[in-house]
Each structure stands twice: as structure tokens, then as C-alpha cells.
Structure 1
């Protein structure tokens, strides 16, 4: 188990500047599974597949979605677009799993972190995850295909993360593909 020093301030961290052990990838916690550390220092929790995955369009029309522009803050993006016109974000925002109701559509950065840490296929780049439940055929494995992020590219397009080959690209918002909810939490001792 490795450790990280939190860089969060006293207003947001329970113990500012403390050493918090980072759990092993795939550890059940906080309503889902530990998926890695976000660029902002928070922990990314991926939802259980049975409850937090669907196939949906990002938006019902190919138009702009003001506010969904963060590459890091998926929760803010989701809050800005969680309505009937944005099925993927609305699905995630409506979830209540493990007693938590702050599930959201992960940002481009969040989904890239999950891809690097929980890649389901062998022989790819990055290599297949060591977490058995997330390996190809595992109960929690990401499907080896495109997954929406909450990050808009331009008016009619949003970013996707491919869990088959690791690529990122943007596509028309009305495209239906995989959605997997995430949540973020401050580092804590499990």
C-alpha cells in the first residue's frame, strides 16, 4: 500500500497535511470500488456495475450544454446538465448506491484514470488491470468499448473514453453508448 500526502486545505480536508494510506485498486468502499486518485487529490469511486451502468445518449440533441466544460470536475459538469435533455448525466445524478447520492458522470480526467487503473483487456496499452473483478469477464469489468464522460468538447460533441484500446475522442452527443457512474471523496482511512 502506498501513501499520499493530502494537499487539501483545512476547509475541505478532515486532517490537513496528514499522511493517508491509498487503498488497493478495486477495494470496496464508499458505495463502490476504489478506482484511483484524481488530479485534484480526491479519490475516485466507481459504481457497482449492476447498479451504476447503462447505455444512454449524452444529450438528446446536438446542441451546446453550457457549464459542462471541466476536464477534472465531473460533479460540477453533471450538476449543470442533469436534466431530461441529458440522459447520461441525469441517470448518474439520480442514483443512490450504498447510501450515497452524489454519483455523477465522470470527467474526462476521471475516466482516463479509471481506464489506466482498471483496463479490462489483456494485451492492450495500458496492460490489463491486476484487479480480478475488473478484468475481462469479471463481475465489475468495464465493457471494452466507449464510455461517456461529462466533459463537453463543443456544442454538438462530448468526450468519450474507450476501455477497449485506451483512446479518447469526441463524438456526437446523441450517440448511445456506455455510462458508468462515479463519485469522489476526500482521502480517509478505510
Structure 2
């Protein structure tokens, strides 16, 4: 992208729909562990799904990088319904959505507190039997059995 094109990008207020970006602007995730910072866009509320493969260890262990977790789950060839649903989501011509990590969900709750509700899956596995979940009602994070059905809220990144 040319410097002149970058200057024309208008970042909306947190909580507003970001036209052409596939969802609601959920804030900026700062650079961390060698990865660059990015704007987080929250996609539509999708169907309820199991996290998947109850009893199996998965490669999705990052608490901060949902994109890496989701790609690891997809590429493993396993049955991970929540990650698959997030990965298949498309909006405004974007097909790079993923299931957010536990830290990304917490950042969303901090920024959109009171604008979202209910329990959603993270892409962060805790063990062979449980994964991290987030309650947008009160900001609590917990663990749930991977065979339980919860809501899926995909996200995507915009790097400026």
C-alpha cells in the first residue's frame, strides 16, 4: 500500500462498524513477542459449536495469537468445529477470519464492555479436555469442556 493510500484510512471509534473491514472495530492490539501490532475487527456472531476433539491435545496453546492457533487447528486436519466456523467466515470480501485467543477476547471485552453478551470460545486450549472461554457479560474468563457448544465470534486483523 502506498503512503498516500495509508494516509486516507480512517479508523472508526471503538465499537463502530468499520466499513469494508468485515465487522466492528474492537481496538488495537499492541506489538508483542516480536509480532507487530494490529487493529482487531470483530465479525458476526456465528452458530454455536463445540471446540472439538475432546480428550486430544491440540496445537492451539497460545494465549495471545488466535490466528496461529486457528491455522494450527485447521492444518492439523482434526475436527475443530469452532475454529473451522471462524476460519470459513467471510464478510466484506475478507476471508481471513480466525477464532480469537484468550488475550484477544479479553481485549475485546475491555474495549466493548457492555456492548456484547454471552459466553464465547477462544482458540486457546488449556488441556486435552478443556479450552479457555470468555463471558462478555462480566469479563470473566474460565475453562469449559471442549465437547460443550458455545458461541463463535470470529475476528480478523488489519495491519496499518
TM superposition score category, shorter chain reference: 0.7 to 0.9
Residue 48 of structure 2: aligned partner: 55
Deviations 1:38-97 (A, max 9, x none): 133201100133xxx22111014232112x111121111001113551000000111121
Contact residue 61 and residue 85 of structure 1 kept, 8 A:
no
Q: Secondary structure at the match of 1:154?
A: coil
C-alpha displacement of 1:170:
1.4
Q: Distance in 1 between matches of 2:17 and 2:91?
A: 13
Deviations 1:5-35 (A, max 9, x none): xxxxxxxx976xx999753112322111110
Confirm or deny that 1:103 pairs with 2:92: no
* Number of equivalent positions: 148
Confirm or deny that 1:159 pairs with 2:132: yes
C-alpha displacement of 1:99:
0.3
Greater fraction of residues in helix = 2
Long gaps (5+) in structure 2: 32-36
Confirm or deny that 1:69 pairs with 2:47: no
Q: Which has the larger radius of gyration?
A: 1
TM-score (norm 2): 0.82
Q: Greater CA deviation, 53-62 or 71-80?
A: 53-62
Long gaps (5+) in structure 1: 1-12, 121-133, 135-141
Runs of 4+ with >6 A deviation: 18-21
CA RMSD, Structure 1 to Structure 2 (Å): 2.2
Contact residue 157 and residue 171 of structure 1 kept, 8 A:
yes
Q: Distance in 2 between matches of 1:172 and 1:60?
A: 10
- Structure 1's 56 and 14: CA in aligned 2 closer, same or farther, altered over 3 A? farther
TM-score (norm 1): 0.70
Contact residue 54 and residue 130 of structure 2 kept, 8 A:
no
